[in-house]
Amino acid sequence: MPATKTARPIALIGPMAVGKSAIGHQLSHQLGAPFVDTDVEVVANHGSIAEIFASRGERAFRELEARAVARAIEDARGSNTVISLGGGAVLDSGTQQLLGQCTVVYLECDADTVAERIARNSGRPLLAGDAMDRWKTLFATRRPVYERLADLVIDVRSGSVPDLAHRIENALRGYAAAGTAAVTTPAATKEVEK
Ligand code: S3P
């Protein structure tokens, strides 16, 4: 792992219910890096997502979300902080630009993977009504954006959260070794110092 590379934040993107938060949390633990979930930041500062949608509308939510993402990326500069983004955050053009400062990992899945979690859906206003149908429609329109922004695409259709986090960590190391971005972890630093 080259010691001279500047560490970059790791941004996890992908559709609702793919597991960005759980996998991101585990990945950050493995890397010994901080974890930020931008939805959690929005909720902590402004109340539940369902309430924001109901009282102020989706547009207001998107503004708060874009600000939370910008703050997270700014704070994560020069580190491997893992940042989990809400499924629709990538639609904002400012966010798309800021993601250029991150290693962007797209968690790829299909409707079957998320069906069970979607069925238990709570707090996702965009899935109100026929959740599966809504999810499929949103995924179809957003998928090209996820693909375009991704530095790495990880298939998360099968595997436990730790398995998937290890898969991402390995992919990040391969990506760093290819000279495109750096992952600096206590283990990697040790390797370099040897
Ligand atoms: C949304 C995804 C949600 C949350 C909000 C809107 C979306 O985050 O930001 O309900 O537009 O896809 P998750 O992807 O973490 O569920």
Confidence of residue 177 (pLDDT cuts 50, 70, 90): confident
Sign of CA dihedral 171, 107, 97, 72: negative
Task: Measure 29 CA to ligand 1 centroid, in angstroms.
Answer: 23
Span 33-40, mean pLDDT? Answer: 98
Residue 48 lies in domain = 10-193
> Ligand 1: which atom is nearest the Cα of residue 123?
10
Tell the residue nearest (CA) to atom 8 of ligand 1: 86
In a domain, 3, yes or no: no
Mutate to test the pocket of ligand 1, among 35, 39, 118 (most ligand atoms within 8 A of CB): 39
In a domain, 5, yes or no: no
Full-prediction pTM beyond 0.95? no
Q: CA 125, CA 50: separation in Å to the nearest integer?
A: 6
In a domain, 119, yes or no: yes
In a domain, 157, yes or no: yes
Mutate to test the pocket of ligand 1, among 13, 16, 52, 62 (most ligand atoms within 8 A of CB): 16
17 labelled as ligand-binding?
Answer: yes
pLDDT at 183: 67
Task: Measure 181 CA to ligand 1 centroid, in angstroms.
Answer: 27
In a domain, 1, yes or no: no
Least confident of 18-22, 58-62, 67-71, 110-114: 110-114
Which CATH number fits the domain that encloses residue 167? Answer: 3.40.50.300
Helices of type H across 32-130: 38-46, 49-56, 58-75, 93-98, 111-119
Q: Any residues with Cβ below 6 Å from ligand 1, and which? A: 16-17, 20, 39, 49, 86-88, 124-126
86 labelled as ligand-binding?
Answer: no
Task: Measure 95 CA to ligand 1 centroid, in angstroms.
Answer: 15
Burial degree of 132 (CB within 10 A; 0-12, 13-18, 19+):
middle
pLDDT in tens, 4-26: 357 999 999 999 999 999 999 99
In a domain, 92, yes or no: yes
Please give the tally of structural domains in the chain. 1
In a domain, 45, yes or no: yes
Give the SS3 label for residue 44: helix
H or E element at residue 135: helix 131-149
Average pLDDT, the chain: 90
CB 153 within 8 A of CB 103: no
